[in-house]
Amino acid sequence: TGIVEKKHIQDGMEVKPNMKLYAISDISSVWIYADVYEYEIPWIQEGKDATMTLSYIPGTEFKGKIDYIYPYLDAKTRTLKVRLSFPNKDNMLKPGMYANVNISSVPVKDAIAVPTEAVMYSGARNLVFIVLGEGRFVPRNVVVGIESGDGFHEIKEGLEAGEIVVTSAQFLLDSESKLQESIAKMLATRKNIGSDDDKLMKTDMEGMDNNTGVNKDD
């Protein structure tokens, strides 16, 4: 059973063996294709719940699941195609319709997160600056995870819960060489003030906002 999509015969035609008469589609369940941005990929997985709304049918929400995640990205749009399956018992959903889809994300429990602006991307590594007090800072290599929609980045490695980080650590840097130059200058300042700890830095660090943020422990 289903809906006739194509009719290959007409009244009075001779029907022969193996001849296609009709093309029939079963739309009791439909596939919806959605494009997911690259940074959103860690939030999705097959089997997760999804909801869908259509401008053609205001006030109605359809519930379905992620059926398949394609293994490659579109080279031009940098998006990943996801196939979702939705039941269509009343045949309200028609092939070719456009829809708005909301996918339930995979929760990350007990995650350490910092404000996105606290992470410095030098091109070769990711850094945050830890506040040690009395104007002292130390750079720390970190492994960055997923990014939330409210301005936080997950830190998988490199930080402990409760450590305080500098929230504006970009220093207007755009390369690893500039990063090394800035750190070298800060280390030179450290020697001038007689610090015994090679890892500590004490400087006003021109261009840096000394406001600090505390790691967010979700």
Q: What is the DSSP letter of 203?
A: S
What lies within 8 Å, CB to CB, of 156 at 6+ separation is: 142, 143, 144, 145
**From the CB of residue 157, how many other CB atoms can be counted at a distance below 10 Å?**
10
Residues 48 and 69: beta-carbon distance below 8 Å: no
The ranges of the chain annotated as CATH 2.40.420.20 are 112-217
Q: What count of residues does the chain have?
A: 218
**CATH 2.40.420.20 matches 112-217:** yes
**Which CATH class, in words, describes the domain spanning 30-103?**
mainly beta
Residue found under tokens 């490659």: 72
The 3 state secondary structure assigned to 64-123 is EEEEEEEEEECCCCCEEEEEEEEECCCCCCCCCCCCEEEECCCCCCCCEEEEHHHCEECC
Please tell me the pTM assigned to this model.
0.52
**From the CB of residue 129, how many other CB atoms can be counted at a distance below 10 Å?**
23
pLDDT in tens, the chain (218 residues): 567 767 777 888 888 888 887 777 677 889 999 999 887 888 888 999 999 999 888 889 999 999 999 999 998 988 999 999 999 888 888 888 899 999 887 677 788 889 888 888 766 788 888 888 877 778 889 988 877 767 888 888 999 888 988 886 444 444 455 556 656 655 555 455 444 443 444 433 433 444 434 444 44
* 32: β partners: 84
Closest among 33, 41, 44, 59 to 103, alpha carbons compared: 44
Which residue type is seen at 202? K
Residue found under tokens 């029907």: 15
